[in-house]
Structure formats: structure tokens, C-alpha cells
């Protein structure tokens, strides 16, 4: 059997001074990257370093030698402009991201591009940058975990048993896709989805109050999520406790963590520190503020040692899972073979259309016939529609519905939320081990276009099905005619 998940199991007692030095190492690696490139976003890495440190070192299950291990916790930096923060964490945690890679931040063909890119940099779980999509893809990852655990787990063998964590900023939550995806996550009760909100009240153009007065707590609770508030984004103990509480919830969890953008710089609290290098003079003053005596890209050995200690605890869980998987493979060889292939290729043997000599079949009808046969042969073929399955003919008969109580079901009801549906489908593919589709009318592909673009950038195998793609629906008028599409 698999041991209890790794959760805050230090090998030795950490004192606050050591932890603060580790947090500051993340801050200054990020700041040094941005200053060397003379380009980037220093605000978020400086203020979010404490929450990111706490999450990575005390909660996040991963293995730096096996970055695509199927039961790792997923982490999505939806606020992808803060990529320097993530690259610093990957370096300190022993992924194949060296100091020289950090020095080439935002340069052509480097391992550290301006925004995170999946399968380009080891340890990145999603390509993010277009705000809001990272959150929606994380919803897809959490859906996939819930679906696959219902299909593959057996008594004593929790093969899929992981969390999906996200860091979002104010901009992520302004995008409409955030509301679409959060509503879906709440309705599906994705209890292993935990969002950390870097709440600094500043966007690129200035104070947040210039564009919104929303009470985010009301929206979160209204969508069926748990909500917590951490008043001091530098308080490691409070952040730790909030994540612990979130892991106990039977709902998706949202932790608002109050921060000061660009904390510790002379420009802190202002939009001036959001999206540009702050200059050598301000970097020097920031070093004085944190009492950081080291040269650019210089990290003391004690910091590396601290990160290495947490890896040993994570390794214990990883090895325990591997040992249990071997027992699982002996008990359930067919299921284990499917998982070891980690393949989204569909079995399409012996597909055929019923002969119909009387009339031609509409393409959506013939498509439906093929989909039913694929679903019969592929247990992890699943997906849904933006409230149009009866028109798209994409409902999978006899396969059940994906709900909180029946997560093994293959039919997902997304509601009229095309953009979130597409991004969630991408998240399901990023998770791995299943193949997902999404469907709507062709005219509404425009609502999905940013997610379709990320399909191409990530080279994903997401299936998008568009029906009513001609002038044949003329009775609906020009609003439903996909002419320019």
C-alpha cells in the first residue's frame, strides 16, 4: 500500500532564519534574472516568494529526476509573467535548470523564456501567460485526477492521489474565463484544487481600484469554494496553516494572501515594479533592505542544503509510490500497462458506420456513431459540450456523467462556457493518461480561440468538435453563420 502523502515532513527542525534566507534566495535569483535581462516582472516574484517557498518545500509532491511522474502534484503559475519566480524554484529544487540557464532569462532559445512553456523547461506543468487560462487548465488537471482515480484506483492502491495547486494574480481573476472555470470547479466539487491568490491590489496600469471594486470573497463562496484569508503574505506559519486547512476541505479551496507588490524595493506597492527591471540602484537598495550580502546569482550552500533536505522527504514518498505501483501491476496488469504507456492514443480498431441507403447522414450523426464506438473501446475517452450535446451529437451513451458523486462518468456538462471548456480540455490533456474532447457550434470557436492557440503552442492532442459549420442553419440568421471562421 502507498504511504500517506508527503505533507510537511522535515528531516530536521527548520528555524525561521534559515527559512527566511531560502525565501530571500528565491527573491534575489528572480531579481537578478530580470535585471540581467533588463526585462521582466519583478513585482510578483518578490511578494509571492514566501507562499511559493511554503508550497514547494512543505506540500508539493514532485521528483526532480522524474518530472512527468503521473502522481506528482501539479503546479500552475497562472500569473505566468512571474516566471522568474518559478525558474528560481526549479533551480533550487534540483531540476535541470542551471545558473547559466537563469542568466539567459527571456533570451531566444533559452530554457527560461519570458513565460513558462510546457515540455520546454523541466518541471513546467502548463504553458501560461495569457491570463486566466492557467487557472482553467488547472481545473482540467483536477478533473482528470478525480476521473482517473475513480477508474484506476483500487482498495489499497491510490495510484492517482494528488493535488493541483495554482498561483493567480489580480489579472487572472479579472479575466472572464476565471469565473467560467471556477463555477465549473465548484459544481464538480474538485476538492484537490487549491488556489493561492497573490492579492497585491495593483495591476500594470496602477491601483486595482481604477478598474474594479469586486469583493472577491463573495464570488469565491458563491461559486461553492472554500475561502481563507491570510493577512500577511510574509508570514510563513499562517500560509502553512492555510494550505493545511485547504487540504482538508471537500470543496475547491481559495486562499487570498495579502501582499505588497515588489516588497522590499524602493518602488514597492506601485505599478512601477510590476513589469520592468527596477535598475541597478534600486536592486542595491533592495539588497540592503533584506541584508542580502551576496553577488548576483550567488546562493550560499546552506540554502541549497535546505532545499536538498526537503527532497529526501519527497523521495521517500516517491519510492513508496513506486513500490506500491509494482504490487498494483502484479494485481492489475492490464490497468498498469495502460498507465505505464501514459499514452493518449485512441484505439480505433474496427470502426464502421452503419449502412444507410435511404439518405445521407449528417456529419454530426456519423461523427456520433464513431464516437460511441471509440468510447466503447477506450475507457478514458471523455469530454463534453458547451450546453449543445444534443445538437452536436456528442453525448456518449451508456458511459455515465462526470459529477462529484460519479467521477468515473465520461460526459462533462460545461454549461455555456466555451472558453473555459476548451482550456479545461487542455488541462485534462496536460495531466495525461486520458483523451478529452470539447464541442460546440463552429461560430462559437471565436470564444475558444485563445485556448485553441495554446493547444498549438503546447502540441496537445485536444479534440475540438464544431458542428453547424455551414450556411445550412440559415433560419438562425446571420449571428449563427460561420462565414469568416
In this structure, the answer to whether residues 213 and 113 fall within a common structural domain is yes
Last residue of a domain, one of 304, 319, 334: 319
Structural domain that includes position 208: 16-319
In this structure, the answer to whether residues 275 and 399 fall within a common structural domain is no
Give the model confidence (pLDDT) of 50-99 as tens digits.
999 999 999 999 999 999 999 999 999 999 999 999 999 999 999 999 99
Is residue 92 in some structural domain? yes
In this structure, the answer to whether residues 307 and 375 fall within a common structural domain is no
Say if residue 5's pLDDT is above 80. no
CATH code for the domain of 381: 3.40.50.970
Confidence of residue 11 (pLDDT cuts 50, 70, 90): very low
Q: What pLDDT was estimated at residue 368?
A: 94
In this structure, the answer to whether residues 136 and 205 fall within a common structural domain is yes
Say if residue 168's pLDDT is above 60. yes
Catalytically active residues, by annotation: 418
Q: What pLDDT was estimated at residue 4?
A: 44
In this structure, the answer to whether residues 44 and 121 fall within a common structural domain is yes
In this structure, the answer to whether residues 181 and 45 fall within a common structural domain is yes
In this structure, the answer to whether residues 284 and 151 fall within a common structural domain is yes
Is residue 229 in some structural domain? yes
Average pLDDT over residues 119-129: 97
Q: How far is CA 483 from CA 142, 327, 400, in A?
A: 36, 56, 36
Q: What pLDDT was estimated at residue 14?
A: 74
Question: What percentage of the chain reaches a pLDDT higher than 90?
Answer: 86
Is residue 468 in some structural domain? yes
Question: What percentage of the chain reaches a pLDDT higher than 70?
Answer: 95
In this structure, the answer to whether residues 377 and 313 fall within a common structural domain is no
CA–CA dist 58, 60 (Å, integer):
6
Confidence of residue 312 (pLDDT cuts 50, 70, 90): confident
Average pLDDT over residues 406-423: 98
In this structure, the answer to whether residues 382 and 456 fall within a common structural domain is yes
In this structure, the answer to whether residues 315 and 375 fall within a common structural domain is no
Last residue of a domain, one of 319, 354, 373: 319
Is residue 337 in some structural domain? no
Is residue 284 in some structural domain? yes
In this structure, the answer to whether residues 101 and 243 fall within a common structural domain is yes
Specify which residues 411 forms β-bridges with.
383, 401
Is residue 239 in some structural domain? yes
Give the model confidence (pLDDT) of 85-114 as tens digits.
999 999 999 999 999 999 999 999 999 999
| pTM across the whole model | 0.96
In this structure, the answer to whether residues 271 and 384 fall within a common structural domain is no
CA–CA dist 141, 420 (Å, integer):
13
Q: What pLDDT was estimated at residue 346?
A: 84
Last residue of a domain, one of 258, 288, 319: 319
Q: What pLDDT was estimated at residue 1?
A: 44
Say if residue 225's pLDDT is above 50. yes
Average pLDDT, the chain: 94
The total of other beta-carbon atoms located within 10 Å of residue 67's CB is 17
Is residue 334 in some structural domain? no
Q: How many domains does the chain have?
A: 2
CA–CA dist 316, 203 (Å, integer):
41
Q: Taking the CA of residue 376 as centre, how many other CA atoms within 13 Å lie in the half-sphere pointing to its CB? A: 11
Q: What pLDDT was estimated at residue 374?
A: 93
Is residue 122 in some structural domain? yes
Amino acid at each position: 500500500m502507498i504511504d500517506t502523502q508527503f505533507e510537511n515532513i522535515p528531516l530536521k527542525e527548520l528555524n525561521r532564519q534559515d527559512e527566511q534566507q531560502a525565501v530571500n534566495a528565491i527573491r534575489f535569483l528572480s531579481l537578478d534574472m530580470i535585471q540581467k535581462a533588463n526585462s521582466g516582472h519583478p513585482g510578483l516574484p518578490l511578494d509571492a516568494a514566501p507562499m511559493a517557498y511554503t508550497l514547494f518545500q512543505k506540500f508539493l509532491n514532485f521528483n526532480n529526476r522524474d518530472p512527468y511522474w503521473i502522481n506528482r502534484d501539479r503546479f500552475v503559475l497562472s500569473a505566468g509573467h512571474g516566471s522568474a519566480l518559478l525558474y528560481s524554484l526549479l533551480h533550487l529544487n534540483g531540476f535541470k535548470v542551471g545558473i547559466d540557464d537563469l542568466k539567459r532569462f527571456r533570451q531566444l532559445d533559452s530554457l527560461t523564456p519570458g513565460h513558462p512553456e510546457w515540455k520546454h523547461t523541466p518541471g513546467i506543468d502548463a504553458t501560461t501567460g495569457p491570463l486566466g487560462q492557467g487557472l482553467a487548465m488547472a481545473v482540467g488537471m483536477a478533473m482528470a485526477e478525480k476521473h482517473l482515480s475513480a477508474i484506476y484506483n483500487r482498495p489499497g492502491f491510490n495510484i492517482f492521489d494528488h493535488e493541483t495547486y495554482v498561483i493567480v494574480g489580480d489579472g487572472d481573476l479579472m479575466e472572464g474565463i476565471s469565473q467560467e472555470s471556477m463555477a465549473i470547479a465548484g459544481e464538480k466539487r474538485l476538492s484537490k484544487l487549491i488556489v493561492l491568490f497573490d492579492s497585491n491590489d495593483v495591476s500594470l496600469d496602477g491601483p486595482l481600484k481604477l478598474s474594479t471594486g469586486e469583493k472577491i470573497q463573495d464570488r469565491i463562496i458563491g461559486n461553492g469554494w472554500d475561502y481563507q484569508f491570510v493577512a500577511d503574505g510574509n508570514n510563513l506559519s499562517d500560509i502553512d496553516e492555510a494550505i493545511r486547512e485547504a487540504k482538508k476541505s471537500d470543496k475547491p479551496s481559495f486562499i487570498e494572501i495579502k501582499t505588497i507588490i515588489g516588497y522590499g524595493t524602493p518602488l514597492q506597492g506601485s505599478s512601477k515594479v510590476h513589469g520592468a527591471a527596477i535598475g541597478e540602484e534600486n536592486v542595491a537598495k533592495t539588497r540592503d533592505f533584506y541584508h542580502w550580502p551576496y553577488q548576483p546569482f550567488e546562493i550560499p550552500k546552506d540554502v541549497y542544503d535546505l532545499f536538498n533536505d526537503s527532497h529526501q522527504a519527497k523521495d521517500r514518498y516517491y519510492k513508496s509510490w513506486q513500490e506500491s505501483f509494482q504490487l498494483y501491476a502484479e494485481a492489475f496488469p492490464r490497468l498498469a500497462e495502460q498507465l505505464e504507456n501514459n499514452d493518449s492514443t485512441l484505439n480505433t480498431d474496427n470502426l464502421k458506420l452503419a449502412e444507410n441507403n435511404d439518405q445521407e447522414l449528417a456529419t454530426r450523426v456519423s461523427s456520433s456513431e464513431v464516437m460511441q464506438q471509440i468510447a466503447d473501446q477506450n475507457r478514458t475517452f471523455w469530454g463534453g459540450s458547451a450546453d449543445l450535446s444534443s445538437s452536436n451529437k456528442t453525448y456518449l451513451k451508456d458511459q455515465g456523467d462526470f459529477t462529484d458523486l460519479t467521477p468515473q462518468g465520461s460526459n462533462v456538462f460545461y454549461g455555456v462556457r466555451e472558453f473555459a471548456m476548451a482550456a479545461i480540455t487542455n488541462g485534462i490533456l496536460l495531466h495525461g493518461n486520458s483523451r478529452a474532447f470539447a464541442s460546440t457550434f463552429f461560430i462559437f470557436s471565436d470564444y475558444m480561440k485563445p485556448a485553441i492557440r495554446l493547444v498549438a503552442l503546447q502540441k496537445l492532442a485536444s479534440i475540438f468538435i464544431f458542428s453547424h459549420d455551414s450556411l445550412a442553419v440559415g433560419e438562425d440568421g446571420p449571428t449563427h453563420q460561420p462565414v469568416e471562421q
